[in-house]
Structure 1
Amino acid sequence: MSYTRPTFRHPEQQRNDKGYFRRDYEGAISTLCAGCGHDSISTAIVQACFEMAVEPHRVAKLSGIGCSSKTPAYFLGKSHGFNSVHGRMPSIATGANMANRDLLYIGVSGDGDTASIGMGQFAHALRRNLNMNYIVMNNGCYGLTKGQDSATADKGSAGKKGTPNPFESIDLCELAIELGASFVARSFSGDKQQLVPLLKAAISHNGLAFLDVISPCVTFNNTATSTKSYQYVREHSEATGTFDFIPLQREILTRYEPGTTQAITMHDGSLLYLEKLEQSFDVTSRRRSVDKLEEAKENGRLLTGVIYVKPDSQDTHDIINTTLRPLNSLDQSDLCPGSEVLAAINENYR
């Protein structure tokens, strides 16, 4: 059986501010299981990039190995892409980012790809605050190898095989805050209303924007005993608030009353509005954010939404003071300025 995407499109379909149609952000037809949460995340990425008028040729998609790492083929088909080996997406992203800082980097990984074999690479990308969107499609199991528990599976949670997980889980959001990520959020693949503005805010953030998206595996981990199932997440999620993202180029019209909203200015001047459900929760406080995650876990809740943001974030290029020009554009005269310059540098160390 063969199938293709229909070529017919509505003649009055909308263009974004850069003149692109939504179809320009789509990719190949998904081969994932029907109902997989990963496809919903791919759709949210398409929607976010279309609404923000991101130019597809300015995006680089990077991934590792796993069901999640297949998804870059399903969105932004006209963008750059590189599928690395298991757990090594962050190092590939680092090298590409160092070579060309002008691209928008979207790194896609899974809970196994990040929390197990790729943990070391994940940690160093965070502490360097690499300027990229790091998206983990988190289903709590290894879907490509028949559903074994991953490192993010909650203790006592049981998938299709019915055996409760005996080990403590890794909370990637809490770890991301502690290791230096400057934007941390969690969402649910089934909550497009929350996920799309979070993605748009992450795209505008300067530094590493980490998104942990709970994405149930419909084949191996969508049982009533699993804490990563559709039913469990819908019944136990606790949002930090409701969100609205306002791009810089649009007129800013706030509709919130003073004292109920936290407005976060991104590095490009765009605004992320957080309408807080709990007034004491300050998402710009690392310590308060970690405490909030722990409080939610103690109460058997899954905290979603914006969890931590550092508005004055410096990315890797800012930290090590690289040239504003992409390194791949430097020529011989830039890289080898001559013996006189080298002599002057050596003289400084005498």
Structure 2
Amino acid sequence: MSYQIPSFRHPDLPVNDLGYTRADYEGSISTLCAGCGHDSISGSIVKAVHELSIAPHHIAKLSGIGCSSKAPTYFLGKSHGFNSVHGRMPSVVTGAAMANRDLLYLGVSGDGDTASIGMGQFAHAVRRNLNMVYIVMNNGCYGLTKGQDSATADEGSASKKGDPNPFSAIDLPGMALQLGATFVARSFSGDKEQLVPLIKAAISHHGFALIDVISPCVTFNNNPASTKSYEFVREHSEATGTVDFVPMKEEITTRYHAGSPHEVTMHDGSVIHLNKVDENLDPFDRGSAMMTLQRHRDAGQILTGLIYMDRDSRDLHDVLETSQRPLNTLGESDLCPGNKVLQTINASLR
């Protein structure tokens, strides 16, 4: 069976500030299982990038191997793309980012691609504060190889096969916090109202931004005994607060009490509903974020929303003082400045 995207689109589709419709940010038709949470995440990425008015050719999407790593085929079809070796996506992003800092790097991975074979790659990308958005489509199983438990499967959780997982789970947001990540969030594929603003905020963050998205596998891990099924996540998720992202415009100010809902009208006339975060969580304090994450984990709850953000983040380019210009734009005079400059550099190293 062949699949084709309809060539006809409604002539009155809304456009963003660049004149692009949302269709300009789509990719090929998905061949993932019907109802797969990964497709919902792809839709959230399309919506976020379209609303931020980022030109498709300014984005590079990269992935590894797995169901999640197939997903970039289904969004941002007019952007740069690279499907790498299993677990090695962070290395490819690092090389690309060092060569050209002008692009937005969007890495898409899975729980196996990140928490198993790619764990070492993930850890070093985090600690170096590589300037990228790292989205984990986390379903707790290996969907491409018939649903074996992955490293993020919760202890006692059972996949379609029925055997409870005997091992403790790797918690990626918790690990990222310990490794020094400067932006950590978690969401659920079925909650676009939360996920889309988180993606926008991650894109605007300067440094490494992790979003761990619980994404149920409808074929192998959506049964009642699974802690990553649609029903379990909906019943056990605990949001840090309603999240929204506001691009740079004239300042909108408001005041309201903690714990009470509040409506704010935005520049485009839309209304956002705010609800201040749990008083026990300070999303700008790493220790508070780690303690709150652990407390909810001990209670069997999935903490979602913005968990931590460093407002003074210095990314890898800042640390290494790399070229402000892409390497392919540097000429001979930039790369070979002459003997005098070379002698100065040598003298500084003595």
TM range (shorter): over 0.9
Summarize the alignment of residues 263-302 of structure 1 with structure 2, pairs less than 5 Å apart: 275-302=275-302
Query: 1:321 Cα shift?
Result: 1.2
- Segments of 5+ residues of structure 2 without an aligned counterpart are 261-271
Residues 246 and 252 of structure 1 are in contact (CA less than 8 Å); yes or no, is this contact kept in structure 2? Answer: no
Which residue matches 2:252? 253
Q: 1:254 to 1:5 in 2, by over 3 A?
A: farther
Which residue matches 2:312? 312
**Residue identity opposite 1:17 in structure 2:** D
Asked if residue 114 in structure 1 is aligned to residue 126 in structure 2, the reply is no
Summarize the alignment of residues 101-250 of structure 1 with structure 2, pairs less than 5 Å apart: 101-248=101-248, 250=249
CA RMSD of aligned residues (A): 1.6
Which residue matches 2:263? none
Deviations 1:304-332 (A, max 9, x none): 00000001111100111112112232222
Deviations 1:107-159 (A, max 9, x none): 00000000000000000000000000000000000000110000000000000
Which residue matches 2:27? 27
Whole-angstrom distance in 2 between the partners of 1:344 and 1:3: 61
Asked if residue 13 in structure 1 is aligned to residue 18 in structure 2, the reply is no
Whole-angstrom distance in 2 between the partners of 1:2 and 1:43: 21
Which residue matches 2:57? 57
**Residue identity opposite 1:285 in structure 2:** D
Query: 1:256 Cα shift?
Result: 4.7
Q: 1:258 to 1:313 in 2, by over 3 A?
A: farther
**Residue identity opposite 1:40 in structure 2:** S
Query: 1:277 Cα shift?
Result: 3.7
Residues 284 and 310 of structure 1 are in contact (CA less than 8 Å); yes or no, is this contact kept in structure 2? Answer: yes
Residues 258 and 276 of structure 2 are in contact (CA less than 8 Å); yes or no, is this contact kept in structure 1? Answer: no
Deviations 1:75-100 (A, max 9, x none): 00000000000000000000000000
Deviations 1:214-250 (A, max 9, x none): 00000000010000000000000000000121001x3
Percent identical among aligned pairs is: 67
Deviations 1:41-89 (A, max 9, x none): 0000000000000110000000000000001110000000000000000
Q: 1:302 to 1:349 in 2, by over 3 A?
A: closer
TM-score, normalised on structure 1?
0.94
**Residue identity opposite 1:253 in structure 2:** I
The alignment of Structure 1 onto Structure 2 pairs a total of residues equal to: 339
TM-score, normalised on structure 2?
0.94
Whole-angstrom distance in 1 between the partners of 2:349 and 2:114: 42
Q: 1:274 to 1:327 in 2, by over 3 A?
A: farther
Whole-angstrom distance in 2 between the partners of 1:154 and 1:59: 34
**Residue identity opposite 2:256 in structure 1:** E
Which residue matches 1:330? 330
Whole-angstrom distance in 2 between the partners of 1:275 and 1:130: 31
Residues 68 and 108 of structure 1 are in contact (CA less than 8 Å); yes or no, is this contact kept in structure 2? Answer: yes
